[in-house]
Each structure stands twice: as C-alpha cells, then as structure tokens.
C-alpha cells in the first residue's frame, strides 16, 4: 500500500508539472536529455548448491515483490549519429520472501527432504548502473535505427528472518524465533552487452524499443551468510548469458518536456563456480574444487516518468 500511494503521488506531480509547460512540438534529437521515473520492481533470484556429481543439493528462491524503484538517467549526443547514455536504479522498499529447499536422499526431480519458508524477508538493497554508446545506422528524422553496446552492474541483497521449517527427512517441524536473522544473500553481477534499438516519433508521441544480448563477467559473485550456522559462503561465478528488453512510450507536453511510461526486463542466466566456505567463529576457510555454486536473476521494472531536454 505504501509503495502504491507513493507511485500515485509521483504520477500526479509529474502530470501537473507537464501541464504547466506551453504547447509545442518536441525536439526528439536534443543534445542532452535527463530523465527520472518512479515505478514497480519485481523479480526472482535463485541460489543453488551442487554435489560433486552435478546433482542439486540445495536451492534457495528469493522473491522480490512490490518493490518501489527510482530510476534516473541521461543521454548525450556527441554527433548526429553517436550518443552516450547512462542510468541508475535504486530499490526503495519491497516485500520479499524466501523458500529454501534441500535434497538429502534422492536428488531432483524427487521432492525436497527439507523445506523452510521465510515470509519476513527484506530487500536490503537493489542498485543498478548502466552505461553505453549507441550509433545510428539509419535516421530519417522520424525513425532512428541504432546499434549499441555497454556495461551493466547489478547489486542485490536480501535478508531472511524468522520463518518455519518442515524437515521431513528427520521428522522435525517447527518455527524460528520471530525476527531472528537467518540468511543474508547478495549477488554482484557485472555484464557487458551489445544490442539493437529503434526510436520513432509521431506528432507529439515517441516510441522506443531496445534488445540486448551479452555476458556476465568472471568477476561476478554471490555471497551467502548463514547467521545461525556461523558459515559464510562466496560463489566465484563464471560468465553466462545475459539478455534484456526495454520499451518506452512518451508524450510531449512542451518543446522540452515529455511524460513517459517504460518497461525493462533483465535476465541473468545461471552462472556457476567454485565456492569458499568460511567458519565465522574460527576463521577457517574451505574452498571447493568444482562448480558447487549457482545463481541466476531476473527483474521487471515498470515505471512512469519525466524527460527534460536541456
């Protein structure tokens, strides 16, 4: 409810601001444009642990629901064909949950032997940074087709507290203490990409769509702190495919100002790597010599905002 109220208030302010400008036809090729938007963020990350034979030992599913997200960015034209862009997103508030599954007997597709669920899960932070360059292959004035390339960095962290468990393998059921910190999980995902983009303008309306394909870098990490077990895990993830699709529709309320709606879907496919396991009491560290860890992530960012051409 809090996220929805803030979003509605933000939309109202932007619409009122837009009506204050005089009518006019926008310049859809400004040298510098800045923008901001407020919206709804959802997504899911999966954390996996594998046995040496490749069978799944554990899977933790971190859901991101009803998050409020702030997006800001800018585009600067260096020449008629070349533009630079940069943007950032920050998650402000979110409802989240964790489901934790373990297989002790038969591996999947058998049902898990242990299951715990944690509805009191917080999105500690969500940050993205995205920067790149686009080059116009064709520009007719009302239609522009471009190639682009860039770098994106995503940093997401959750903490699960309390919750309940059903350890069927041991015949044990129960609940953790309310508010007790159980697990903190963080993904740090750098990626490079290339893509294609289209921008079209029709009277006061503008539409754009963009597709990206790339690869996460070998410096990606996933960090897991099991507070009740005094264990800290770090997965040193190897590169894997990354893909994204973005769309935007805008309406010019003045020569320089437009209101818009946007949607952005990002998918980091499963990355795997070796794992270090630290005993946080003794400081002893053990590192696996096989791909024992796995991680993936997708996010969906839907927002409304304001463009301003300088």
Phi-psi region of 282 (alpha: psi -120 to 50; beta: other; left: phi over 0): alpha
pLDDT at residue 10, rounded to an integer:
43
pLDDT at residue 286, rounded to an integer:
93
pLDDT at residue 66, rounded to an integer:
84
Going by C-beta distance under 8 Å and a sequence separation of 6 or more, which residues neighbour residue 161? 118, 120, 121, 122, 176, 178, 179, 180, 181, 182
Going by C-beta distance under 8 Å and a sequence separation of 6 or more, which residues neighbour residue 278? 231, 232, 233, 234, 284, 285
pLDDT at residue 106, rounded to an integer:
85
Give per-10-residue mean pLDDT for the chain (310 aa).
44 40 45 96 96 95 93 95 97 89 91 94 96 96 96 97 94 94 97 98 95 97 96 96 98 96 98 96 93 97 96
pLDDT at residue 141, rounded to an integer:
87
Domain boundaries along the sequence of the chain: 2-309
129: three-class secondary structure by DSSP: strand
Question: CATH says 2-309 is which class?
Answer: mainly beta
pLDDT tens digit sequence for 217-252: 999 999 999 999 999 999 999 999 999 999 999 999
pLDDT tens digit sequence for 87-104: 999 998 778 999 999 999
Q: What are phi and psi of 148, to 5 degrees?
A: -150, 160
């Amino acid at each position: 409810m809090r996220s929805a109220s803030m979003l509605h208030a933000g939309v109202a302010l932007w619409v009122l601001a837009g009506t204050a400008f005089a009518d006019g036809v926008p310049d859809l090729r400004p040298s510098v444009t800045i923008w901001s938007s407020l919206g709804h963020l959802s997504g899911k990350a999966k954390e996996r642990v594998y046995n040496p034979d490749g069978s799944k030992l554990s899977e933790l599913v971190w859901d991101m629901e009803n998050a409020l997200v702030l997006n800001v960015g800018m585009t600067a034209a260096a020449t008629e064909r070349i533009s630079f862009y940069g943007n950032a997103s920050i998650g402000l508030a979110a409802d989240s949950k964790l489901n934790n599954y373990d297989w002790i007997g038969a591996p999947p597709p058998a049902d898990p032997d242990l299951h715990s669920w944690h509805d009191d899960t917080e999105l500690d932070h969500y940050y993205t940074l995205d920067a790149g360059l686009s080059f116009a292959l064709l520009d007719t004035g009302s239609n522009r087709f471009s190639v682009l390339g860039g770098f994106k960095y995503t940093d997401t962290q959750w903490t699960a507290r309390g919750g309940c468990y059903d350890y069927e393998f041991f015949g044990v059921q129960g609940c953790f203490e309310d508010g007790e910190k159980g697990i903190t999980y963080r993904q740090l995902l750098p990626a490079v990409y290339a893509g294609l983009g289209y921008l079209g303008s029709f009277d006061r309306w503008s539409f754009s769509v963009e597709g990206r394909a790339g690869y996460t870098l070998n410096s990606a990490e996933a960090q897991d702190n099991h507070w009740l077990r005094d264990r800290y895990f770090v997965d040193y993830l190897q590169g894997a495919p990354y893909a994204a699709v973005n769309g935007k529709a805008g309406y010019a309320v003045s020569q320089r100002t437009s209101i818009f709606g946007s949607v952005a879907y990002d998918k980091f496919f499963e990355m795997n790597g070796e794992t270090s396991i630290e005993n946080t009491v003794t400081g002893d560290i053990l590192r696996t010599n096989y791909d024992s860890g796995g991680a993936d992530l997708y996010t969906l960012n839907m927002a409304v905002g304001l463009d301003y051409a300088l």
